[in-house]
Structure 1
Amino acid sequence: MRRDEPQRLADYGPLFFPAGMLTVFFVVPFATMIAVSFFQREQGGFYTPAFVFDNYARFLSLFFGKVLGFSLFLAVAVAITCVVIGIPFTYLLSRSARKIQVVWLVALLSILSLSEVMIGFAWSTLFSRTAGVTNLFVWLGLMAQPQALTPSFGAVMTAMTYQAFPYTVLVLYPALVRLDPTLTEAARTLGASPVKAFFTVVVPALRNTILATLIMVFIFALGCYLLPQLLGRPQHWTLSVLITDQAVYQSNMPFAAAMAVFLVLVSLALVGLSLYAGQQRQAK
């Protein structure tokens, strides 16, 4: 099929609607947020139009550095955990019978239908002292008495991994299904063990997909808002929680806007890095 280049303005008609939606729902709000981030905060929670860098200068404070460092560390930890668990799980799923694949995919999609509120309160119940999983450990004789597992970093990490894991599988699944099974069979014929064949054949073949999955889960975890509040302590709060705290409770909209701009720019930079890596891979 031959593709003709647009010759007149009407040929760009199909692009007008998505371009308009992108402008209204992304460009205009983001531009407004950038403008507010340079405003001057006044007493009483008010702010006036100005062009000051005080809000961005606060990024150099120790408090912001701790919150940003923890947010990045948590997002990286969740992304790596999801990929490390998701690759072998998805590989075994892609090699299973069709009925088993359907059951697991439906189960994963059902998790996506749950809101973050439901996931947060479900895990808070599982980690509670009265009705949590530690009561099962007591019944099995592994613990002397039940205890609460929240608030803690492990609870936040577990819940965020649970929430992001279905996205990981759904991104990896198409690439693993398309992977030629004769490649691993050839490696096994040449004497490689199943584990060695997996790491020397399957993982290198999914390099771009793994990178894209890491970036996607990282961005998803970086914007997590509710789970750190429900399952963690204030030191476990992410940058998204701090943005809400500054905007709603501290009435410091300019500083909240500056942090939101920073968060969006980091996400866009990672998406651009993923696209650039994919283009470089195709060029080779």
Structure 2
Amino acid sequence: MSGRDAATPTWLGLIPGVVLAALFLVPFGIMLAVSVALRDPSGSGFYTWGFELQSYARVFTFFVGRILFVSMTIAAGAAVISVALALPFTVILAQMSRRAQTVILVILLSVLSLSEVIIGFSVSTLLSQTAGVGNLLALLRITEQPRAYTPSLFALMTGLCYLTFPYSVLVLYPPVARLDPELVEASRTMGASPLRTFFGVTVPLLRAPILGALILVFVFALGSYLLPQVLGRPEHWTLSVHITDQAVYQSNLPFAAAMAVVLLLAALALVGLALLVARERRAA
């Protein structure tokens, strides 16, 4: 019997399940147990093992609900803007020579090596009053005097899009590179403009990769911790910032764990809904 015809060992199929359990299910189980634990009022420890739903009662309040809504909105906005910028960029990139594609992809990979700390403070400096955009606009007489554009929602979205743009390009590049160029040429031959060809031919063919990039960027931006603090105002702070505040500074691990559980379940629910909608559209 040749190696190709040999049956795959049964134990080999257990490896993904073991990895999933070790990296997701076990930490999630611990976080779930902590979320229903009792907070230790004596200050000698963060919590004691027990079962109460007081932390979840605090989670489902208007204050936490507003923070969760802000987090979801910011993450969704960053995902839409990042993918909307990455898609035409990737289409143009795929039409370049192999040498140019390699250089640009290496540059994008080098951007991924930058930490969130470097990106956050670089964007903060660029949008500050004493350097960067403010002075440039004043020099061009667009504004009367230099002004700061951070902290603001604009600065936060700029930082998130800069952070997630390379991921969007790397997700979209393989399917875009595999597109049949004859389809685009046929559309142009029939008189369609480049813009109409892009939205009428290219985008429909890339629905699944676009959805995948949106989900990836959304989940990535949803867990952003540093950028909202450096570039945004307190009303723009995501739930991740408040989770850290409760766990580290307020010594309230059960409440922090409860917020983390709700954030994780909300993200999984939105991802599942997006996949369900994509499957129904594909079936139709």
User: TM-score of the superposition, structure 2-length normalised?
Assistant: 0.90
Give the residue type in structure 2 aligned to 1:227: L
Q: CA deviation at 1:19?
A: 4.2
Give the residue type in structure 2 aligned to 1:78: A
Of the structure 1 ranges 104-113 and 17-26, higher mean CA displacement relative to structure 2 is found in 17-26
What aligned pairs does 1:198-213 form with structure 2 within 5 A after superposition? 198-213=198-213
Say whether the 8 Å CA contact 1:34–1:257 is kept in structure 2. Answer: yes
Equivalence for 1:42: 40
Give the residue type in structure 2 aligned to 1:121: F
CA displacement, residues 70-124 of structure 1 (integer Å, 9 cap, x when unaligned)? 1011011001101111111111111122222122111111110100011111111
Equivalence for 1:65: 65
Equivalence for 2:21: 23
CA distance in 2, matches of 1:189, 1:151: 49
Q: CA deviation at 1:217?
A: 0.7
1:106 matched to 2:118: no
Of the structure 1 ranges 143-152 and 177-186, higher mean CA displacement relative to structure 2 is found in 143-152
CA distance in 2, matches of 1:283, 1:5: 33
CA distance in 2, matches of 1:3, 1:37: 50
- Measured at CA, do residues 44 and 90 of structure 1 come closer, stay the same or move farther in structure 2, by a change above 3 Å? farther
Say whether the 8 Å CA contact 1:37–1:258 is kept in structure 2. Answer: yes
Equivalence for 1:248: 248
Equivalence for 1:33: 31
Q: CA deviation at 1:65?
A: 1.4
Of the structure 1 ranges 29-38 and 57-66, higher mean CA displacement relative to structure 2 is found in 57-66
* Backbone CA RMSD of aligned residues: 2.2
User: TM-score of the superposition, structure 1-length normalised?
Assistant: 0.90
Q: CA deviation at 1:26?
A: 2.5
Of the structure 1 ranges 122-131 and 166-175, higher mean CA displacement relative to structure 2 is found in 122-131
Structure 2 residues not aligned, in runs of 5+: none
Give the residue type in structure 2 aligned to 1:199: F
Give the residue type in structure 1 aligned to 2:145: Q
Say whether the 8 Å CA contact 1:138–1:144 is kept in structure 2. Answer: yes
Structure 1 residues not aligned, in runs of 5+: none
What aligned pairs does 1:114-193 form with structure 2 within 5 A after superposition? 114-193=114-193
CA distance in 2, matches of 1:224, 1:44: 32
Of the structure 1 ranges 217-226 and 101-110, higher mean CA displacement relative to structure 2 is found in 101-110
CA distance in 2, matches of 1:163, 1:121: 12
CA distance in 2, matches of 1:166, 1:252: 36
- Measured at CA, do residues 17 and 205 of structure 1 come closer, stay the same or move farther in structure 2, by a change above 3 Å? closer
- Measured at CA, do residues 250 and 3 of structure 1 come closer, stay the same or move farther in structure 2, by a change above 3 Å? farther
Say whether the 8 Å CA contact 1:212–1:274 is kept in structure 2. Answer: no
- SS for the counterpart of 2:143 is coil
Would you say how many aligned residue pairs link Structure 1 and Structure 2? 280
- SS for the counterpart of 1:43 is coil
Of the structure 1 ranges 92-101 and 74-83, higher mean CA displacement relative to structure 2 is found in 92-101
Q: CA deviation at 1:237?
A: 0.4
Q: CA deviation at 1:62?
A: 1.5
Give the residue type in structure 2 aligned to 1:234: P
CA distance in 2, matches of 1:13, 1:31: 25
Of the structure 1 ranges 132-141 and 30-39, higher mean CA displacement relative to structure 2 is found in 132-141
CA distance in 2, matches of 1:228, 1:12: 46
Report sequence identity in percent.
Answer: 54
Equivalence for 2:225: 225
Of the structure 1 ranges 79-88 and 272-281, higher mean CA displacement relative to structure 2 is found in 272-281
CA displacement, residues 18-61 of structure 1 (integer Å, 9 cap, x when unaligned)? 54443333222211100111112232454222222221122321
CA displacement, residues 188-221 of structure 1 (integer Å, 9 cap, x when unaligned)? 1222111111111100001111111111111011
CA distance in 1, matches of 2:235, 2:245: 14
Equivalence for 1:263: 263
- Measured at CA, do residues 200 and 37 of structure 1 come closer, stay the same or move farther in structure 2, by a change above 3 Å? same
CA distance in 1, matches of 2:154, 2:256: 28
Say whether the 8 Å CA contact 1:229–1:237 is kept in structure 2. Answer: yes
Say whether the 8 Å CA contact 1:208–1:277 is kept in structure 2. Answer: no
- SS for the counterpart of 1:150 is coil
